[in-house]
A and B are shown apart, each in its own frame.
Chain A
């Protein structure tokens, strides 16, 4: 195993592997003809793409992650982080990291879609790691919504809250609001486990389970708020504030008004 792993680390081997995998994926995508951006991958171009990715990586990332992504004191090694991880980090604007913060912030991405794809391919080529899902894997429309809800409440709501509004973790870290996350990002987050989030690998969560979760998260954002304004779905804290600031406030106003002497 170990020798295989070292073999795999060799740039050439990695390249060959990537080209192979990519052409396979490319063929698949072409067959499916889906509209996701991953589809733009074209096997013949991937070597060029990786070269472009490497160039961008050296410019923007290597100061922290080291040349060849081997890692430094500043940042972890990206060998084996996988294409999905890089794509997730870049498309949510978390990387390149800027300020020293408890946690990388979501921002508008720094790079264009093409550049992101190139860098992701490059990071993917550094070592075997989670790769992006295929278009058919992302087809969640037929998934089981109720199952997705149950899986979400079992695996995700403890950090992201029952409505996907997010929540606090220790020491200033937090699980972000995921109501607007795209299906691709949800998938990537699950298989790469960014920062404090656990990895939900294929062994622990099947594709259909992931699709169900995506369907549920997507549904959260589209469900009408049945009881009226939902106060940010923060639970009893905002309800308590409402009682004191709004309800009691209104009633004191009324009490003063009624109590005012009529003359």
Chain B
């Protein structure tokens, strides 16, 4: 019997060679840190979206055919509405578990994009996008964009007042694209907005096209992570050429599997107790209606904010209006942001000496890349200001402020606050680097003051742990690419002079001011020094610990007396003390 199974298994393995594949891969090691979980969080949120979405497809009718509502939600009985909206009402009120599933789907969708965004920030500030991982960075951006589209298309499906309002704005953005805008809009809406085709068109895109693309991208993303191996934070025994962590089986897989249930559980719990998108309250979409507090889901909020703060600029050219007030904030801004995000890894590589060939498997501590970290905080500030502008009416009414004041603060703020945050972040990073250097040179301050026999106070310093030392020493000291000479020694013009100058400028911008690590000689001297201090302080520390346990006080002189009386001696301190006492006596005698 067992033989038969064994034969079958080995026969199968001969053909599929699973065993050796999995032997190799099961022992694959993954490093561990809580900040590495955001990607997983996004993945599990996506799986949750997928599962709940499948349930919704069983009941949702993607049609704009007008019907009279006759379901169980009384305040809308007899109201004309699209079949899409009516079926979403049915899901909410007449399908068993429908409302919960709708809320799971929507909360998970919000979490999906949120987790991706936080993941992106983590990858950016730790430099995980560097060679060889630029491709995966680009795939990640693709996923983020697909997340936006998936969410926005889903938000538009139920055909309630909010989704219609969102589509109206989307139409406005399309129309603002010069020349092709009108054609594009007519093509997508099959004529004048809203038409009666759009929801069914969107449906295919939402449940098939976008999830398909996302699945493909996720697969590629994960395969690449697998193949390139995960990066790790610096630490003892961690190098650019190894991976320290747990093997996939069983530990990492168990933890990851557990985390899936945590994510899923949290989503379901939230969906069970907090309303999201109460479409029954918004009512069916009617082009002549609108509600105060019409907002997109959060990931579109920054674009909404950009629209809200943009001054009302328009140009009329050859009888056509170009709406800069819509085109710039909604279309151009998004293009600029994603282009910059996509270009950054290549730009940094170009301006980093020696990076053209080097692989990076060890992450940067954010403080060790001050300009990059400051870019992140500055950009995030810009982003949050936009989000604030996007919710300006809610903020105004909740905090009793003037909506116009908020708009103006943000209008001016986006030019002033991010540069300031950039500057201050760089300062903080550099002073953290200085602190690291001090730690290497002087050890850890124990906070214990020791009074030397001749009256001088000295703080006891303890050596850094090996781990902490390895973390600090992981820093690469990068000299910016030097500015090129216009001509070389022989008077020959340097080729690509201007390009090289620009490269050097960017390089200086990224790497100037870095605090160098101490040299090997300095380190050795420092080590000596610290050990000496620690040794000298050891009895004091020891005594203090004993005293503290008894609730005693260190600086109480009688304690030392008592110690002496009890015969506790601290040999070399006592010797010094006696010597000092002798000296003083001698001086008095003089």
Contact = CB atoms under 8 A, between A and B. Distances in A.
Are A and B interaction partners?
A: yes
Interface of A: 102, 145-146, 149-150, 153-154, 157-163, 165-172, 174-175, 216, 219, 223, 225-231, 233-240, 242-244, 246-248, 250-252, 254-256, 258-259
Q: Is the interface of A mostly helix, strand, loop or mixed?
A: helix
Contacts of A174: 396-397
Nearest to B398: A234
Interface stretch (B259-267, B464-472, B477-485, B525-533): B259-267
A239 B37 contact: no
A157 B286 CA distance: 13
Interface string B73-91: 0111111000000000000
B255 A258 contact: yes
Contacts of A248: 41, 111, 114-115, 118
Interface string B84-100: 00000000110000010
B250 to A, nearest CB: 13
Q: Is the interface of B mostly helix, strand, loop or mixed?
A: helix
A171 B402 contact: yes
B401 A149 contact: no
Nearest to B288: A154
7 contacts: A146-B77, A168-B403, A170-B404, A172-B404, A227-B92, A237-B295, A247-B266
Contact of A233 (B110, B278, B286, B405): B278
Given A146-B78, A146-B79, A171 B283 contact: no
A258 B262 contact: yes
Contacts of B286: 153-154
A226 B99 contact: yes
A252 B36 CA distance: 10
A162 B274 contact: no
B378 interface: no
A234 B394 CA distance: 7
A162 B262 contact: no
Contacts of B394: 168, 234-235, 237-238
Contacts, number: 189
Interface string B1-37: 0000000000000000000000000000000111001
Contacts of A162: 161, 281-283, 291-293
A247 B111 contact: yes
B162 A235 contact: yes
A167 B393 contact: yes
A149 B79 contact: yes
Given A154-B286, A167-B393, A172-B402, A229 B273 contact: yes
Contacts of A163: 281
B298 A251 contact: no
A228 B274 contact: yes
A108 B295 CA distance: 33
Contacts of B289: 153-154, 157-158
Nearest to A154: B289
Given A154-B286, A157-B290, A227 B296 contact: no
A149 B391 contact: no
Interface in B106-150: 107, 110-111, 114-115, 118
Nearest to A232: B398
A102 to B, nearest CB: 7
A250 B114 CA distance: 13
A182 B274 CA distance: 29
Among B34, B110, B111, B262, max chain A CB count under 10 A is at B34
B197 interface: no
A255 to B, nearest CB: 4
A256 B34 CA distance: 5
Nearest to B110: A243
Contacts of B114: 243-244, 247-248
B292 A168 contact: yes
B295 A226 contact: no
B498 to A, nearest CB: 44
Contacts of B276: 227, 239
Contacts of B258: 258
A228 B398 CA distance: 21
A153 B280 CA distance: 12
- Kindly list the 8 A-B residue pairs having the minimum CB-CB distance in the complex, ordered from nearest: A167-B292, A240-B298, A227-B275, A172-B402, A168-B396, A255-B37, A162-B291, A161-B292
Contacts of B37: 251-252, 255, 258-259
A174 B404 CA distance: 12
Nearest to B103: A227
A166 B397 contact: yes
Contacts of A171: 402-404
Interface in B232-258: 255, 258
Given A150-B283, A174-B396, A247-B266, A252 B34 contact: yes
A27 to B, nearest CB: 37
Interface string B393-418: 11011101111110000000000000
Given A153-B283, A154-B288, A229-B275, 11 more contacts: A102-B402, A145-B77, A162-B161, A171-B402, A226-B93, A237-B293, A247-B111, A248-B115, A251-B115, A255-B37, A259-B37
B450 interface: no
A231 B270 CA distance: 12
Contacts of B93: 226
Contacts of A254: 259, 262, 266
A123 B540 CA distance: 87
B255 to A, nearest CB: 5
A245 to B, nearest CB: 11
Contacts of B270: 242, 246-247
Nearest to B276: A239
A230 B278 contact: yes
Given A150-B283, A228-B273, A251-B266, A158 B290 contact: yes
A228 B106 CA distance: 14
B278 A172 contact: no
A221 to B, nearest CB: 13
A244 B113 CA distance: 11
A159 to B, nearest CB: 6
